[in-house]
Amino acid sequence: MPRAGLRRLRSPRVWGPGGAVVVAGAITAAALAAGAGPDAAATADGLPHTTVEVSPGDCGRGWRHPRPGTQVFDLRNTSSGAAEVYLRGADGGPVYGEVEGIGPGTTRQLRVRLGPGAYAFTCLPDDANATTGPTVRVAGSGAAGPAAAPLTQHDLIAPALDYQKWVAGGLDDLVHRTDALRAALTAGDLPAARTAWLPAHLAYERLGAAYGAFGDADEKINGTTAGLPGGVHDPGFTGFHRVEYGLWHGESAAGLRAPAGALADAVRALRDDWAQARVDPAALGLRAHEILENTAQFELTGRTDYGSGSNLATARANLDGTRAVLARLHPLLTTRYPELPSLERELTRTERLLDGFHRDGGWQPLGDLTRPDRERTNAAVGDLVERLASVATLCDPRRTV
């Protein structure tokens, strides 16, 4: 499937139910139960508001009347540069909420639910060291909202290196399978080429979190006709989908030898160059989310079907790719994401759902699904995309200095 270089909008953010991140102000105030103190402004949302200063010298100043419950902090940047802000448990405790990109002279809102305990704001100006404001103690009763211990880039290095080794093994398998595809077309055996195409393509799709490190090779290997003026006849249409189109639209083996050869050569070059490539540790959690986000956008809409009818097989391979990333992140998530067991159960349930479309040695085309099956599939993948958004956020490295 095409990789669109999707970027998450990260601010303002708070930890929502189950560790999910919710845009501040997007939740209704129906369940509100907190009285306003002397420093709380009257607001349309019915929540107590507290104005807090964001600056290297006065980080957190203004929080004079701490209270438990759901509330909004109006973060006012009085410095001359942009800044990021965390609300954490005191003494380097877990993060309860954060806002990025607060420009100078700008006020942004952070909505959180606080319980009894000690808290402090940490201000992280661009191009300057972090500063932590005074510790504020909240009395009363009630439970605090979800929080998570922050991860640093250093925490993610070992998972990224392990994943990179796993990808190297996958590329060896991919080379073997694309060579088999090329050999079938060289021999003029179109049925064998059709049989070889799907296992080769799925081997590539399982490497989903590595596409950011593949660079231009991804477009050569798995590009589509998107943006090509000549469509399927454009010279820039190459790779798996170019061969797929020819195999299922009556092209001759002789006509497909060159595209299959170029595909196999591109795969081999990627494998040979992989030792010098680097998976970005900071992007690992985000990639876990993007794999299935792209699955929902491209595979479950049929936008990448060039004749093989294999979108559901690709979606199933994308689940394998997601599993591979989560396996490397598992030690970091077990203490940070309480919904991890539920996520893994839903992954298993969705795998079984998709496996049910693999019958008699073939995969049911997306267009042949009944409406209930289509709805179940879309709902299952959509649910996973939402859950994996929390993984992306929890694995987003945070500055500590």
**Stretch 219-227: mean pLDDT:** 95
Phi (first) and psi of residue 211, to 5 degrees: -60, -30
Of 217, 387, 197, 363, nearest in space to 292 by CA: 387
Residues above pLDDT 70, as percent of the chain: 89
Split at pLDDT 50, 70, 90, the class of 401 is low
Beta strand 362-363 with 117-125 is unpaired
304 near 314, Cβ under 8 Å? yes
pLDDT at position 73 = 97
pLDDT at position 211 = 79
Note if the bond before 48 is cis, omega within 30 degrees.
no
Q: Tokens at residue 357, please?
A: 């479309």
pLDDT at position 45 = 81
Which pTM does this prediction carry? 0.82
Q: Can you list the domains of the chain with their CATH numbers?
A: 21-138 (2.60.40), 153-394 (1.20.1420.20)
Contacts of 271 (CB under 8 A, 6+ apart): 168, 171, 172, 174, 175
β-partners of residue 83 are 102, 125
Q: Render pLDDT for 124-149 as a digit per residue (tens, 0 to 9).
A: 998 888 999 999 999 999 999 888 88
Q: Render pLDDT for 297-337 as a digit per residue (tens, 0 to 9).
A: 999 999 999 999 999 999 999 999 999 999 999 999 998 99
Please tell me whether residue 13 adopts helix, strand or coil conformation.
Answer: strand
Split at pLDDT 50, 70, 90, the class of 256 is very high
Mean of per-residue pLDDT scores for the chain: 88
Render the burial of 365-400: b for 16+ CB within 10 Å, e for the rest: ebeebeeebeeebeebbeebbebbbbbbbbbbbbee
Q: Tokens at residue 343, please?
A: 């996520």
Q: Render pLDDT for 39-88 as a digit per residue (tens, 0 to 9).
A: 444 467 889 999 999 998 999 999 999 999 999 999 999 999 999 999 99
pLDDT at position 212 = 80
Split at pLDDT 50, 70, 90, the class of 26 is very low
pLDDT at position 43 = 63
Residue 69: count other Cβ atoms within 10 Å of its Cβ.
22
Q: Render pLDDT for 7-22 as a digit per residue (tens, 0 to 9).
A: 333 333 334 433 333 3
Question: Is the predicted pLDDT of residue 197 greater than 90, yes or no?
Answer: yes
106 near 84, Cβ under 8 Å? no
Q: Render pLDDT for 90-117 as a digit per residue (tens, 0 to 9).
A: 988 899 999 989 999 999 999 999 999 9
